[in-house]
Structure 1
Amino acid sequence: MSAEPAASGAMGPPQARRAEGKHGKAEERPCELDRLPISAQTRTELVRLCQWYQSSIDWDDPPAPSPWPQGEWQLFRRQADTAFAALCQELGDGWQVEMTHTVWTG
């Protein structure tokens, strides 16, 4: 997920883009949630989802299939989509927010 101020360069779990780097190009780097103008409730939910996601990985064998059953993936996706919508709404039109997940298995 990435969020960026639309007018001033770029701001993402979540990746963020910041204004221009050394060569005049936007750079992507992690964003501290405390720096985003969002409610404590949304911030707490994003942290909870990030922590929950960590349990989807078999840390003894990370390339192995996820230990989560399909139902847990479905629940996680629904809650992640809800949090994403809240983030977009709270940041408003002055921000460009992208969901860039690549691993939604189950």
Structure 2
Amino acid sequence: MMNPKTEYIIRFFFEWRESCFWSGNDAARERFDSPIEPEELPLSESTIKRANELIEWHDKALNWEYPPDPGPWRQEECDRFNQAAKELLSAVRQELGERFEVVDESWEEQEDPDLEAYLRDPKGFKRKA
């Protein structure tokens, strides 16, 4: 149930070459559009900087040469990113206060189970059905 003081609903998830903030209600769409750049939100400079770092970091998880193939991240990097995303979400919720509801719609990054096979033979790699 929404807090009666909540005016804006912001959805939090990472999308390729985009932001991690998305409008979640009409009021947010009218004020910010969607996606929402971190600089558009009333956040501290350090939180804006961190959000932009994570947006850029997340883009490195994709195999840009052929996106259906496994991305380059090992589980350790996935875990570091997932922890950093949780810390960012916590800071954003605290800084935005009760006029904003920040809904976590993110998913945890995981090492692709086919990464080893891909690394052995990137050109001949085929996903297992």
Question: What TM-score, normalized by structure 2, do the two folds share?
Answer: 0.65
- Structure 1: which amino acid aligns with 2:21? P
Larger radius of gyration between Structure 1 and Structure 2 = 2
In 1, distance between residues paired with 2:66 and 2:95? 38
User: How many residues are aligned here?
Assistant: 95
Match of 2:65 among 56, 60, 63: 60
Tell me the C-alpha RMSD between the 2 structures.
2.2
Identity %: 26
Check whether the contact 2:23–2:34 (CA below 8 A) recurs between aligned residues: yes
Q: Name the counterpart of 1:47.
A: 52
Q: Which runs of 5+ in 1 are unaligned?
A: 22-27
Match of 1:15 among 22, 27, 31: 22
Residue 40 of structure 1 deviates from its aligned partner by 0.3
Inter-CA distance 35–70: structure 2 relative to 1 (3 Å threshold): same
Inter-CA distance 10–77: structure 2 relative to 1 (3 Å threshold): closer
Q: Which runs of 5+ in 2 are unaligned?
A: 12-19, 112-129
Match of 2:106 among 87, 101, 106: 101
Of Structure 1 and Structure 2, which has the larger fraction of its residues in strand? 1
Q: Name the counterpart of 1:6.
A: 6
- Structure 1: which amino acid aligns with 2:27? A
Of Structure 1 and Structure 2, which has the larger fraction of its residues in helix? 2
In 2, distance between residues paired with 1:79 and 1:20? 25
In 1, distance between residues paired with 2:94 and 2:39? 17
Question: What TM-score, normalized by structure 1, do the two folds share?
Answer: 0.77
Structure 1 runs, 4 residues or longer, greater than 3 Å off: 9-12
